[in-house]
Structure 1
C-alpha cells in the first residue's frame, strides 16, 4: 500500500490550469483499482492519495504520468507501508507483516 503526498511547486493558477487533466488521470487510476482515496491538503498546498499496487515501480510509473507532474506543478513523495490492519471495508487490502 502507498501514501502519495503531492506538494505544489507552482502558483495555484498554474495548478488550476492542469486540474481538469489531473482529475481525468485520477479517474483512470480509480477505474483501474489503484487509488482508494484522494483529496486536497488543508491549506491547499498539495494533496494526498492512498493507493494499492503490486510494486513501487508501478506506482512510480503512474505518478510520472500525472498531468500535474508533466506540467511541472507538483512533486510527489511516495511512502510504501504494509497495511496489516484496516477498516472492514478495506479488508481485501490487508497484508502480512512477513
Structure 2
C-alpha cells in the first residue's frame, strides 16, 4: 500500500489546464480498483493519493501515465507502508495485506 504525495511543479494556470485530463485518469484508476482515496493538498500545491496494495513497478507505471506526469507538471513522492490496522470500512483491504 502506498501514500503518494503529488507536488505541482508548474504554474497553477498550467496545472489547472491539465486537471480535466488528470480527473479522467483518476476515474480510470478508481474503476480499475487501484486507488482508495485522493484529494487536493492545501494551498493548491498538489495532491495526496492512497493506493491499494500493488507492486512498486505497477505503481510507477500507473503514475507515469498520469497527465500531470506526462506533461511534466508534478513530482511524486511515494511512501510505502503496511497497514496493521484499518477502520471497519477498509477491513477487506487490511485482510488482503495480511494474506
Superposition TM-score, scaled by structure 2 size: 0.93
What is the root-mean-square deviation of aligned Cα atoms in Å?
Answer: 1.2
| Matching residue of 1:32 | 32
Alignment length, in residue pairs? 97
What are structure 1's unaligned runs of at least 5 residues? none
CA drift of 1:53 comes to: 3.1
Once the two structures are superposed, what CA deviation does each residue of 1:41-89 show, in whole Å capped at 9, x if it has no partner?
A: 0111000001013211111100000000011110001111001100010
What are structure 2's unaligned runs of at least 5 residues? none
Report the 3-state secondary structure (helix = DSSP H, G, I; strand = E; otherwise coil) of the residue aligned with 2:44.
coil
Report the 3-state secondary structure (helix = DSSP H, G, I; strand = E; otherwise coil) of the residue aligned with 2:43.
coil
- Identify the structure with the greater helix proportion: 2
The list of structure 1 runs, each at least 4 consecutive aligned residues, that deviate by more than 6 angstroms after superposition, is: none
| Matching residue of 2:90 | 90
Counterpart-to-counterpart distance in 1, 2:54 and 2:77: 18
